[in-house]
Structure 1
Amino acid sequence: MTYISDTSAQDTQIEKKRNYKLYIAIAVGIVIFFTLIVPQLSIWMSGKSAVRLENIRIAEVQKGQFIRDISVQGRVVAAKRPTLYSPAQGTVTYLVTPGDTVSLGEPLASIDSPELTSLLAQEKSELTRLKTQLEREKIQVKKQDLEQENYIGKAQVALNAAKREMRRNEEGHKNQVVSDIDFQKAKDDLENAQREYRLAVKEVALLKESQKFEIKTRALELEAQQVIVSELQRQVASLSIVSPVSGIVGNLAVEQKNSVTKNQPLLSVVDLSQYEVEVNIPENYADDLALGMSAELMLNGNTYKGELIAISPEIVGGQVEGKIRFKEKNIKGLRQNQRLTSRVVLEEKNDVYYLPRGQFTESGGGRFVYVVEDDVAVKKSIKLGSKSLGQVEVISGLAMGEKVVISDLDVFKEAGSVRIVQ
């Protein structure tokens, strides 16, 4: 019997490949089922809505110091940056250039004013004339004093002679040697001499008073002229313009050797020893501002203390302009017109309950919050007080240590209680 050989000896067994993708898909489905479906089923069975923990922010109520503040942008300016003006009409000559470092009292520019120097020379000449006139008047008074002394002397001599003649006539009249007519004549001569003497004394006194008045008038004229000359000398001296502070020269307002008018700006000097920060504060904080309020200024990662030293009395563009001065001097890294962030402290309270600031103050209107306990957020009425950059004062409704949702409360849809799921 003949057998026909088969091809089994040539066959090879093919190994069956496992479907790993299917296993992975099943595993992912189980994970999704237990992480998403099962919690939702549990919530559905309990009848409560739920919010995922990753979608909210939770913070604890704390008690301590509460600082109400605002943050504003400011611009650095020098505390002293005087602008120098021309004291008179003339031609300007600059002795410095922009950016030069100058010290207090150093000459910066000069004004050539022929009109002012000529006026000073004229007034000096008038002053000399008045001095000469006053001295001449004094000499004239001395001369008149001699004449007045002689005049009174003559009157005195005449009076003495009349008295002697009267005594002689009295003796003769008693002895009946002198007639009655001669006696009466001697008596009249004595009265006349007495009258002339009294008149001479009064006349000399009046003349002396007149002399004093003339001297005083000349002296006042001289004094007035001296004031004019002194003022002109001051103006001429001010033609040499010196630096009122130590610092650097700013921009020059006119070109070299140009003609300038009186009170025309010439140049500015910036004092770099002390800076201020000009800030614009929203008008809704205007009533809370007061001079002397403390402030903090951030520069290159460092915080510097400051003080609010000026507040504008008017509101422009919905903002109030103020100035903050650095308490420290010679701060490195400051530049003119540099932008800085500043923090102004409006109010400080101690032993106050507070929460970190969050969107709950807007979405909840500050009337309610959600307190988290055992993975359940419960709606609770509260009353908030002052707000700062990073804190919100809690007046009532919460206790220290309670956990509160401080993020947007719209996700809770004003439900009474909501479960928090991982």
Structure 2
Amino acid sequence: MDRVIEKKKWSSQKLVTIGGVVALVALLAGSYYFTQGASRLNVDPARITISEITKGVFQENIPVNGIVLPVTTIYLDATEGGRVEEKYVEDGAMMTKGQPILRLSNTDLELSLSNQETQVFNVLTQMQISKNNADQNTITRLNQMAEVDNALKEAERLYRVNERLFNQKAIGKQEYQSSKNLYEYQVRRKALTVDILNKDSVSNRQQLSQMQQSFERMQNALQLMRKKVGDLIVRAPVDGQLTSLDAEIGQSKNKGERLGQLDVMSGYKVRVDIDEHYISRIFTGLRGTFNFAGKEYALVIKKIYTQVTGGRFQVDMEFEKEVPQGIRRGQTLQIRLALSDEKQAVLLPKGGFYQQTGGNWVYKLNEAGTMAYKVNVQLGMQSPDTYEVLEGLQPGDKVITSSYENFGDNQELILK
């Protein structure tokens, strides 16, 4: 009797085929994952720096170097050229106003002074001679005036007597008319003499005034020449310390040549070099801080020199409150110059990663701290220690901040 044979649903051959297909798919998937998926690199955690993202007070500032200088520096230039004959002090000496520093000699200038003195003496002599001549001329004119006055009085007396006698018919008309003509002549003569005397007086005064003015001008020129000769002795214009003295005995110095400088020790300022990249963001009133002998001090920008040399420009900063004790001219200070006000921000510590990423991405750790992967970030302003994070990270996140130079283009880092 025939019996029904049940058909097997899963034959051995079919199972083998299915297993082979599954293995092939797994092989293909694994190959794709390891060739096309995220690339990985094993990293020793002891060889990297891991930093935590925080939120706190942020202020953009840049590190700059400044040199301590006196508040006021007066340059000593040779007012007149000459040969250095004598040095009274050495470089670094403390000077008082008017104290001699060195002496120059200039024979041409000294000869000019002698000639000027001779000219002034000649003008003074000529002026005295002219004054004597004017006085003698005035005396002569006054004598003439006295004679004219006497002649007029006599003519007037005779005229008045003859006038009465003529009216009394005691003398003739001819005699009376003669005395009258003589009197009128003497009146006109006196008027002419007075006019001449007045004109001579005005002329003499003008001549003497002109000579006096000429003499005064020559006196001023002589004083100026004496001052120029006196300037051959270089003196301290104010109290201060003599620095950068460049003069040796026997050395010739040209007019206007720099001899040295005098530092007024009433206070100090700091001359700071800044990269020209920040020139549009620097203005008077910006503040900076520095540490000196374990204490922090504040500076404020008072003057900006906008001329750019070698990619840098300079500013002068003054101490805002206290001046450090023991600070000296020429010392270099490391200053943190603030470019913004303080504010709350997400902060990323600085590190070597920036050289490879330019601040566009970082390796961020997972919660377990076993793996780090690339995340895009956006950074804002910076301080000497931190970057301001605008996007991509939150407080509490941990990132690798050391150099990425050995990580290549791997998307993920396995920390073990």
For the superposition of Structure 1 and Structure 2, which TM-score range results when normalised by the shorter chain? 0.5 to 0.7
Residue 288 of structure 2 corresponds to 295
Distance 2:214 2:174 in 1: 59
Distance 1:116 1:222 in 2: 21
Aligned-pair distance for 1:311? 1.7
TM-score by length of 2: 0.66
Residue 250 of structure 1 corresponds to 244
Residue 156 of structure 1 corresponds to 149
TM-score by length of 1: 0.65
Aligned-pair distance for 1:212? 1.0
Distance 1:329 1:152, change over 3 A: farther
Residue 88 of structure 1 corresponds to 81
Distance 1:403 1:176 in 2: 148
One-letter code aligned to 1:119:
S
Question: Structure 1 residues 218-227 or 317-326, which shifts more?
Answer: 317-326
Unaligned 5+ segments in structure 2 are: 1-42, 369-375, 408-414
Aligned length: 364
Matched, 1:73 2:65: yes
Aligned-pair distance for 1:284? 3.1
Residue 144 of structure 1 corresponds to 137
Contact 1:159/1:197 (<8 A) preserved: yes
Look up the SS of the partner of 1:90 in the other structure: strand
Contact 1:82/1:269 (<8 A) preserved: yes
One-letter code aligned to 1:194:
V
Distance 1:367 1:190, change over 3 A: farther
Distance 1:391 1:383 in 2: 14
1:170 aligns with one of 145, 149, 163: 163
Distance 2:110 2:267 in 1: 38
Residue 217 of structure 1 corresponds to 210
Distance 1:357 1:220 in 2: 80
User: Could you list the per-position Cα deviations for residues 347-397 of structure 1 after superposition, in whole angstroms to 9, with x for gaps in the alignment?
Assistant: 436x7667567689999999999x99x99xxxxx99997655457779x99
Contact 1:248/1:271 (<8 A) preserved: no
Distance 2:391 2:251 in 1: 75
Contact 1:91/1:257 (<8 A) preserved: yes
Aligned-pair distance for 1:317? 3.2
Distance 2:171 2:354 in 1: 133
- Map 1:228-239 onto structure 2 (within 5 A): 228-239=221-232
Contact 2:55/2:344 (<8 A) preserved: no
Distance 1:367 1:161, change over 3 A: farther
Aligned-pair distance for 1:121? 2.5
Distance 1:203 1:356, change over 3 A: farther
Distance 2:360 2:253 in 1: 67
- Please give the root-mean-square deviation of Cα atoms over the aligned residues, in Å: 4.8
Residue 332 of structure 1 corresponds to 326
Matched, 1:107 2:100: yes
Contact 2:289/2:298 (<8 A) preserved: yes
Distance 1:283 1:118 in 2: 54
Distance 1:170 1:354, change over 3 A: farther
Distance 2:173 2:281 in 1: 110
- Map 1:339-378 onto structure 2 (within 5 A): 339-348=332-341, 355=347
- Work out the percentage of aligned pairs sharing the same amino acid: 20
Contact 1:358/1:406 (<8 A) preserved: no
Aligned-pair distance for 1:152? 2.0
Look up the SS of the partner of 1:252 in the other structure: coil
Residue 316 of structure 2 corresponds to 323
Residue 307 of structure 2 corresponds to 314
Distance 1:383 1:193, change over 3 A: farther
Contact 2:52/2:395 (<8 A) preserved: no
Residue 181 of structure 2 corresponds to 188
Contact 2:83/2:250 (<8 A) preserved: no
Distance 2:326 2:136 in 1: 77
Question: Structure 1 residues 110-119 or 209-218, which shifts more?
Answer: 110-119
Look up the SS of the partner of 1:144 in the other structure: helix
Look up the SS of the partner of 2:284 in the other structure: coil
